[in-house]
A and B are shown apart, each in its own frame.
Chain A
Amino acid sequence: MSMIDIAALDDIPRQGARVVRTPLGCVAVFRTADDHVFALDDRCPHKGGPLSEGIVHGAQVTCPLHGWVFDMATGSAQGADDGRVVTYAVRSENGRVLLDAAALSGRRAA
């Protein structure tokens, strides 16, 4: 896995997200209240809502358009809703955020 440095941790607000543009579409990189990071496709499986604009609570995010809730670790929708968002390996190290570049290079098997 080749991890690339995409941003400083502090570029992402706590309980918020920033978007990374990739050949496969936008990826939302989230930061929780306690500085854990997650990366998910920035497209809600319901109707394409930008998850990066959702409210982050604990390790979950609520889609801004119709309120589906996703577990950011697994990408799966919670409760009665059925759906899953693709997740990517990401970690923070010495104040920097590293994202799995291989998975995003455009060569990922569909």
Chain B
Amino acid sequence: MNRKLVVIGAGMASGRMLEHLFEAAPGQWDVTLFNAEPRGNYNRLMLSPVLSGDKTYDQIVTHDDAWYAAHGVTCRFGESVTAIDRDAQVVHGANGPVPYDALVIATGSAPFIIPVPGKDLPGVCTYRDLEDTNAMIEASRPGAKAVVIGGGLLGLEAAAGMAARGADVTVIHLMGHLMERQLDPAAGYLLQKDLEARGIRVHCQGVTKAILGTDRVEAVLLEDGTVYPADLVCMAVGIRPETRLANDAGLEVARGITVDDQMQTSDPAILALGECVEHDGQLFGLVAPLYDQARVLAATLAGQEAVFRPVQTATKLKVTGCDLFSAGDFTDAPGREDIVFRDPGRGIYKRLVLEGDRLVGAVMYGDTADGAWFFDKIRKGADITPDRDTLIFGPAFAGGAQADPLAAVAALPPEAEICGCNGVCKGQITAAITGGATTLDAVRGLTKASASCGTCTGLVEQVMALTLGDGFAANANPPMCKCTDHTHEDVRRLIKSMGLKSIPAVMQDLGWRTVGGCASCRPALNYYLIADWPAEYRDDRQSRFVNERNHANIQKDGTYSVVPRMWGGVTSAAELRAIADAADRYAVPMIKVTGGQRIDLLGVRKEDLPAIWADFNDAGMVSGHAYAKGLRTVKTCVGEQFCRFGTQDSTGLGIRLEKLLWGSWTPAKVKLGVSGCPRNCAEATCKDIGIVCVDSGFQISVAGAAGMDVRETVPLLTVPDADAVCDVVAAFVQLYRENARYLHRIYKWVDKVGLDWCRDQVADPAIRGALVARFAESQSIYQTDPWADHAARPAEWAPVADLTLRAAE
């Protein structure tokens, strides 16, 4: 008599398993196949082409009624198995029990639902089966609004499919870049760009707070307050092995149903495969290893020897036009090395990860033609030493191909602006060159490009090099750091003209040679992005030097100094008392009066910082930014209020300027001084910006220094009233913020661009007004007290664990 086999779940894995079984042991098993879905086996992977309209359901069915009939399979589709009785060897379905000699659990996995309010509203779906797919097709009328929560493989295929049907789709992703499990930030950035190009909005670092709606979904609310209207919400945040039946039956279950190398569970009569199992601590989410499981399980049932060994898997996204490939392991780990190739012009990124003489991982975007070749090397563990130098160019390597440092400039469209001062675009420069201008001066003369502040000179030269070929030898300007060939000035200009709004975007589109930059370029890029896109870019704390990251100056023994702001150097008895109290409470070893007219508490322990800040906040004081590349102090004299020589209220003006400028980030530190008369008690003429009051008004001078270099300021403008002082100073600071290179103090920058150019800018009422407006926009975002932010989360400042407490064990 035939033995009875019951299979729970007609999915990708069990379908393949049955094919192998009927081949290996024809006519030996009477099979009953249960499926909760009201249909038989179909190709789940192909739901995405069904969603996008490229295929129909009929085209993706893998086993039809004729096949089940030919193999004598009793189909119980649309019927969930509700219990397994292991003692009686019977499974219970809604329509009655079925006895088994052998049982196969192939229940796949269940989509994870994030427990937010509104998750059960009509119009919220997941992406797992045909019902979900049809719900999305139904909802994707042109113009309908869909929100996909989750920017992994499934979420993006759902998003692309709905967008292809005309829906207006937003993807909300928790992490910093899309598909973070398969892609590194650079590839994630390129993917995001391609999706955005097809109209899909991508919101990274978005935490879903609630799904809103009364009778059905209306919108999705994020923690940061953003609201996206939605007619449909698809949750694609991950999957969980479907183990409920196995759990209830008392089988051994870890995260998935535990199986051995023969796919046997803890009960010898029960086997399991697919996404519901865990083998050797590993779960499965792609079909390749499941097919191997299917072969092994069928062999086990047929009484043959077989052993399951998980193979490496590679990922591809099934969205036309988004060419990505990821395989193996590409995390940074001991002894690993990277080979990176970027071709910004064609949007290509390739990264190979080597461990010793073997290739262990590969991530590619834009050109994945060689993916299979690399994957093969990864799987075989092939020794790559012989072709290591040329490996990244793939099998077709024909010798000598080199990453081209001019590629980013070559890729710029003719309308890209090269010279910001004079609004000259690339096309005009190319035209001038082809029209006969073969020297920089000639190009300057014809187009005015680089004729003003000169920071775009490097780019103009690169356009010349591209247009003239070898006939042009550019001035060698040093590159920003070893990660790139571009100078600071080029990078600043390209960030603007190419609209680059994140560090990965800059690194990709400008062809960075390293994976995550270095300690020299990261803080610079972070600053440039803050300065150029104040509203869109978000400060990256981890790209800041320690002092700015911790909002306090680190001392050589690892303690910190704390300096509260004292507006214009003026304090009060209450503030002094609060400072004295804090010094006592935190046993501050030294209290020092600084050169900037305020008080420094030195030697504070890192874990005490949030508490001391909170105390100062309570006393009405905010951070003095004594650590910042930003506004430090405005030093003042007592002025006309008390001094017999005073001509104006220098103290009041200093306070006003400090309140205007504090909190702004600048390329390097900025210090001001305001003196009430030319006797200059506030030493205003060796500051970055100095103001000297005279009877007729205010003399504003700039570019002083009193550090390693000592410089006297040079006159910028003289203005009649305090309002004008504030406008000129704000405009000048903004000009500096937008144009200087990172770490250049004002005097160095003015040396480069020339005082006359600066004066022309801030003296012109229209330009000055625009600069003031841009400064105000930035301040509306960045003028916040960092102490208040951080004091609220003190735990982050203490050690994460203390093992000295366990030492006694």
Contacts and interface: CB of A to CB of B under 8 A. Distances in A.
Contact of B549 (A26, A53, A59): A53
B515 interface: yes
Contact of A58 (B516, B541, B542): B516
Contacts of A106: 807
Contacts, number: 118
A3 interface: no
Given A6-B801, A69-B519, A55 B542 contact: yes
Given A58-B514, A74-B335, A20 B556 contact: no
Given A50-B554, A105-B807, A67 B519 contact: yes
Interface stretch (B47-55, B87-95, B326-334): B326-334
Contacts of A12: 800
A23 B806 CA distance: 9
A16 B516 CA distance: 13
A45 interface: no
A44 B330 CA distance: 28
B541 A33 contact: no
Nearest to B330: A34
A47 to B, nearest CB: 7
A12 B541 CA distance: 13
Contact of B799 (A20, A23, A54, A59): A20
A29 to B, nearest CB: 7
Interface residues on B, range: 35 or more
A65 to B, nearest CB: 7
A19 B334 contact: no
A69 B518 CA distance: 9
A20 B800 contact: yes
Contacts of B738: none
A57 B516 contact: yes
Interface string B792-809: 000000011111101100
Interface in B314-368: 330-336, 338
B518 A62 contact: yes
B487 interface: no
B332 A34 contact: yes
Contact of B333 (A53, A59, A67): A59
A55 B514 contact: no
Given A14-B176, A50-B554, A22 B804 contact: yes
B64 to A, nearest CB: 41
Given A15-B516, A47-B556, A57-B517, A21 B801 contact: yes
A11 B556 contact: no
B796 to A, nearest CB: 8
A22 B803 contact: yes
B176 A73 contact: no
A55 B522 contact: yes
A54 B519 contact: yes
A84 interface: no
Nearest to B555: A65
B790 to A, nearest CB: 13
Interface residues on A, range: 35 or more
Interface in B278-324: none
A101 interface: yes
Contacts of B801: 6-7, 20-21, 99
Contact of A13 (B180, B332, B514, B541): B541
B242 interface: no
B799 A18 contact: yes
Most buried by B among A20, A34, A56, A58: A34
A90 to B, nearest CB: 11
A86 interface: no
B338 A58 contact: yes
Interface string B650-684: 00000000000000000000000000000000000
A64 B332 contact: no
Most buried by A among B332, B542, B549, B556: B332
B545 interface: yes
A62 to B, nearest CB: 3
Contact of B800 (A29, A34, A60, A74): A29
Contacts of A49: 558
B514 A57 contact: yes
A106 to B, nearest CB: 6
B25 to A, nearest CB: 39
Contacts of B514: 57-58
B543 interface: yes
Contacts of B690: none
A16 B338 contact: no
B335 A64 contact: no
A90 B317 CA distance: 33
A91 to B, nearest CB: 10
A57 B518 contact: yes
Interface string B500-532: 000000000000001111110011000000000
Contacts of B799: 18-21, 26
Given A6-B801, A20-B799, A57-B522, A35 B546 contact: no
B610 to A, nearest CB: 15
Nearest to A73: B334
B519 A55 contact: yes
B788 to A, nearest CB: 20
A7 B799 CA distance: 10
Most buried by B among A59, A72, A99: A59
B804 A21 contact: yes
B550 interface: yes
A58 B800 contact: no
Nearest to A62: B519
B331 A23 contact: no
Contacts of A50: 554, 558
Contacts of A56: 516, 542
A58 B807 CA distance: 33
B248 to A, nearest CB: 24
A65 B800 contact: no
B334 A23 contact: no
A57 B523 CA distance: 11
Interface string A57-91: 11110101101010011100000000000000000
Contacts of B334: 73-74
Nearest to A11: B800
A25 B536 CA distance: 42
A34 to B, nearest CB: 5
Most buried by A among B180, B516, B803: B803
A92 to B, nearest CB: 10
Interface in B21-57: none
26 contacts: A11-B800, A15-B543, A20-B801, A21-B803, A23-B807, A32-B331, A32-B332, A33-B184, A33-B332, A33-B516, A48-B558, A50-B558, A53-B550, A53-B554, A55-B543, A57-B514, A57-B516, A57-B518, A58-B515, A62-B519, A64-B545, A65-B556, A73-B334, A73-B336, A74-B334, A101-B803
What 4 A-B pairs come out closest when comparing CB atoms?
A62-B519, A73-B334, A59-B332, A18-B800
Given A13-B541, A21-B804, 10 more contacts: A13-B542, A14-B542, A19-B799, A21-B803, A47-B556, A55-B542, A58-B514, A58-B516, A73-B334, A99-B801
Interface of B: 176, 180, 184-185, 330-336, 338, 514-519, 522-523, 541-546, 549-550, 554, 556-558, 799-804, 806-807
Interface of A: 4, 6-7, 11-16, 18-23, 26, 29, 32-36, 47-50, 53-60, 62, 64-65, 67, 69, 72-74, 99, 101, 104-106
